[in-house]
Amino acid sequence: MKFATKVIHAGIEPDPSTGAIMTPIFQTSTYVQAAPGDHKGYEYARTQNPTRTALETNLAALENGTDAICFSSGLAAQDAVIKLLNPGDEVLSVNDLYGGSYRQMVRVWGPWGLKSRYIDMSDPAVVAGSITAETKMLWIETPTNPMLNIVDIEALCAVARSKDVLTVVDNTFASPYLQNPLDLGADIVLHSATKYIGGHSDVVHGCLITKNAELAQRLRFLQNASGAVPGPQDCFLVLRGIKTLHLRVQRACENAEKIAHFLKGHPAVSKVYWPGFENHPGHAIAKKQMRLFGAMVSFDLVDNSPEAATKVLSGTHLFALAESLGGVESLIGHPASMTHASIPREERLKVGLTDSLVRLSVGVEDADDLIEDLKMALS
Ligand SMILES: *Cc1c(COP(=O)(O)O)cnc(C)c1O
């Protein structure tokens, strides 16, 4: 089955009791048994819920996995992955990891005994040399936020596999429509479905996908035993969002391409970060591992004062000033004061995250209107 068919049909069956074509929201906490142990596969709703099962089956298909395990948020999904490890184990991670992922690893899991190290993963040989006996997991994010750096998933998974290290790819920024890390050798894919998969800025949700039966079983155990499960209404909203995932991401990427080129030619803009440009350092790898170049675009201003950035950020009408990404509506953000405020300024500047850097999550509106909006804000 091809992707556009999977989003609509994978895991989706008409409801057997009524024929309802849409998966019902099974808003129930428990299920009646005919006799002790005689049930229909559903005992208690933390453990199983039919709305969640439909979503998990669908998500597994989208990432070419065998199992998806859903959680109440992307960070709850991460929390389950880290619980595969033991105190003293190390996670080796990209150095421009999503801020919330970094915070959880350092401030929640650090005191418990997790070691975490953050390195530039653009050279797989450097990553190979950085793996020690304590390293048990490679944590990859590509493209990254907000600099849109690209790392080679296939090469890094090969390095990890040769050293018996698990690989986890946070695929949130690409979405399963653009990039499928399990096909490139990853052990676990993580999504914040809050972003492109949900796609309508109306739900917080996370999931893990794998094709390794043992990992699936351990993660399924953690889902139930730790209990950060999503409610059935949230599962329904994610399922509904997925039905247009391919259409939304396709259009958003096309819009982002037009916007990136517009920004590149604008006299007030000094630099545009978008992996589709041939001179982007990760362009060749992005071309190899992604179907399109994504719908996130970051740019810096010639006047690199925070005031200049504030003028642009408050000057748009269609681009809404807000955190998050991946919804149908376009968003504009200021990483230095919003998503990345907890990172020391010197550290930020080292990777190009200046006070005047602006990040766009390009939506599915008309590209001409979006460009007009940016033109006004930049003038
Ligand atoms: C938002 C996000 C997360 C966290 O997901 P939540 O659903 O907000 O918990 C993790 N990784 C990336 C790349 C994200 O953008």
Q: Is any ligand 1 atom within 6 A of the Cβ of residue 175?
A: no
Catalytic residue status for 2? no
Provide the CATH number for the domain around residue 63: 3.40.640.10
Do residues 16 and 128 share a domain?
A: yes
**DSSP 8-state class, residue 69:** E
Structural domain ending residue among the three candidates 212, 242, 272: 242
Among 28, 55, 56, residue whose Cα is nearest residue 42 = 28
Structural domain ending residue among the three candidates 187, 214, 242: 242
pLDDT reported for residue 306? 86
Ligand 1 atom at minimum distance from 205 CA: 7
Do residues 106 and 123 share a domain?
A: yes
* Domain count of the fold of the chain: 2
Q: Is any ligand 1 atom within 6 A of the Cβ of residue 49?
A: no
Buried b / exposed e over 332-350, threshold 16 CB at 10 Å, is bbbbbeebbeebeeeebee
Do residues 34 and 178 share a domain?
A: yes
Do residues 107 and 253 share a domain?
A: no
Do residues 219 and 253 share a domain?
A: no
Give me the phi and psi of 358, to 5 degrees please.
-120, 135
- Catalytic, out of 195, 248, 348, 359: 195
Q: Is any ligand 1 atom within 6 A of the Cβ of residue 168?
A: no
Among 141, 144, 146, 142, residue whose Cα is nearest residue 360 = 146
Do residues 169 and 198 share a domain?
A: yes
Ligand 1 atom at minimum distance from 324 CA: 1
Residue 196 Cα to ligand 1 middle (Å): 11
Catalytic residue status for 366? no
The pLDDT tens digits of the residues spanning 261-305 come to 999 999 999 999 999 999 999 999 999 999 999 999 999 999 988
Do residues 231 and 287 share a domain?
A: no
Q: Would you tell me the crossing angle of helices 245-264 and 367-378 to the nearest 10 degrees? A: 40
Structural domain ending residue among the three candidates 227, 242, 257: 242
Do residues 325 and 258 share a domain?
A: yes
Do residues 262 and 359 share a domain?
A: yes
| Residue minimizing CA distance to atom 5 of ligand 1 | 74
Q: Which helix (H) or strand (E) holds 247?
A: helix 245-264
Do residues 330 and 358 share a domain?
A: yes
Do residues 18 and 151 share a domain?
A: yes
Residue 74 Cα to ligand 1 middle (Å): 5
Do residues 290 and 164 share a domain?
A: no
Strands (E), the chain: 67-71, 90-94, 115-119, 135-141, 166-170, 188-192, 206-210, 269-273, 296-301, 320-321, 331-333, 358-361
pLDDT reported for residue 351? 85
Q: Is any ligand 1 atom within 6 A of the Cβ of residue 54?
A: no
pTM greater than 0.95 (yes/no): yes
Q: Is any ligand 1 atom within 6 A of the Cβ of residue 75?
A: yes
Residue in this structure with the two tokens 């170049």, named with its chain if needed: 293
Catalytic residue status for 177? no
Provide the CATH number for the domain around residue 283: 3.90.1150.10
| Residue minimizing CA distance to atom 4 of ligand 1 | 74
What is the rounded distance in angstroms from the CA atom of residue 56 to the CA atom of residue 61? 9
Domain coverage including residue 306: 245-378
Q: What is the pLDDT along the chain (379 residues), one digit of tens a residue?
A: 999 999 999 999 999 999 999 999 999 999 999 999 999 999 999 999 999 999 999 999 999 999 999 999 999 999 999 999 999 999 999 988 898 999 999 999 999 999 999 999 999 999 999 999 999 999 999 999 899 999 999 999 999 999 999 999 999 999 999 999 999 999 999 999 999 999 999 999 999 999 999 999 999 999 999 999 999 999 999 999 999 999 999 999 999 999 999 999 999 999 999 999 999 999 999 999 999 999 999 999 999 888 999 999 999 999 999 999 999 999 999 999 988 887 778 878 888 899 999 999 999 999 999 999 999 999 9
